[in-house]
């Protein structure tokens, strides 16, 4: 969920508007290292870190985390990320947490305090994006005006599609059909972003159902389908690496080499399924 901010920085404007935080209409956005490791035994990584340069103000860092459920240990990690980044770069830091359900969003808003009774040494108050403040977009014309926001909104509201119906996904599907005429690269990106991030959930099944009735790109299926039909290990390797990349999972050189040199198509199908859920790239090879 966090990768869309790196790859489609135009989403920052409408998201900041939703959060009620003023942002200059003209900004520069640069991705910087997500590694905040101080010592080798304990590795720490922020999902996404961006340096934002407003045209009318001071640069600041934007640390973005995707959170699928409540994890108490995260509150300490987030405090560490903010203090480390501020110390390393000497810039103000904002923390944005992207959630898919209301309970997680409510918890993630904090504040999270570090201190003793009667005194707070440090307080971390994330900005939270989720189904409580992202708009429900069911109009294709609105989705076409801002496909990045529409894609993130569809993902944030994915768990509530039973009540919203297929209207959310149908709107963005129609918008992507129109977008492919002027910007096929972006249309393909958002199509695959939703396919991968929705996965095998009921919303993912609904997305697949909608797209089976849509002539998206003549002669072209999804990355996964193309690899399967062509029966090429190279295509399967590219699909696995794409899923890991979109999910923000770092791929060490040794893992990348093992994936790209494998010729066992059945084994690569297993890795493809695992790539949707693993937390570390090395977990692809568990019991294989």
Over 60: is that where the pLDDT of 272 sits?
Answer: yes
Give, as one character, the DSSP assignment of residue 220.
B
pLDDT at 33: 62
The fraction of the chain above a pLDDT of 90, given in percent, is: 23
Over 90: is that where the pLDDT of 190 sits?
Answer: no
Within the chain, residue ranges assigned H as helices are 3-7, 12-19, 73-89, 102-108, 140-145, 147-156, 161-164, 167-182, 184-198, 202-212, 223-230, 233-246, 253-261, 265-275
H-run or E-run covering 264:
none
pLDDT at 164: 64
Over 50: is that where the pLDDT of 40 sits?
Answer: no
Could you tell me the pTM of the whole model?
0.62
Query: What tens digit of pLDDT does each residue of 101-133 get?
Result: 889 999 999 999 988 888 888 999 999 999 899
Confidence label for 227 from pLDDT (cuts 50, 70 and 90): very low
Mean pLDDT, to the nearest integer, of 172-200?
A: 85
pLDDT at 157: 83
Give, as one character, the DSSP assignment of residue 160.
G
Confidence label for 22 from pLDDT (cuts 50, 70 and 90): confident
Q: How does the average pLDDT of the chain come out, rounded?
A: 81
């Amino acid at each position: 969920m966090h990768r869309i901010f790196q790859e489609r920085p135009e989403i920052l404007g409408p998201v900041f508007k939703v959060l009620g935080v003023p942002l200059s209409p003209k900004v520069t956005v640069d991705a910087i290292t997500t590694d905040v490791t101080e010592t080798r035994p304990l590795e720490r990584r922020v999902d996404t870190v961006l340096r934002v340069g407003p045209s009318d103000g001071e640069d600041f860092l934007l640390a973005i985390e995707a959170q699928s459920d409540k994890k108490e240990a995260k509150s300490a990690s987030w405090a560490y990320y903010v203090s480390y980044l501020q110390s390393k770069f000497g810039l103000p830091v904002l923390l944005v947490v992207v959630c898919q359900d209301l309970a997680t969003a409510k918890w993630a808003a904090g504040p999270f305090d570090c201190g003793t009774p009667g005194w707070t040494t440090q307080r971390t108050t994330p900005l939270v994006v989720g189904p409580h403040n992202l708009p429900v977009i069911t109009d294709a014309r609105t989705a076409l005006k801002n496909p990045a926001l529409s894609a993130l909104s569809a993902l944030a509201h994915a768990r509530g599609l039973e009540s919203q119906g297929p209207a959310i996904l149908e709107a963005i599907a129609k918008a992507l059909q129109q977008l492919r005429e002027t910007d096929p690269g972006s249309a393909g990106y958002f199509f695959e972003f939703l396919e991968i991030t929705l996965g095998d959930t009921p919303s993912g099944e609904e997305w697949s159902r909608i797209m089976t009735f849509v002539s998206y790109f003549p002669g072209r299926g999804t990355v996964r389908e193309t690899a399967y039909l062509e029966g090429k290990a190279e295509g399967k390797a590219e699909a696995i690496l794409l899923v890991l990349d979109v999910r923000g999972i770092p791929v060490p050189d040794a893992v990348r080499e093992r994936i790209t040199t494998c010729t066992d198509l059945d084994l690569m199908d297993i890795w493809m399924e695992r790539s949707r859920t693993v937390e570390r790239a090395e977990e692809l090879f568990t019991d294989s």
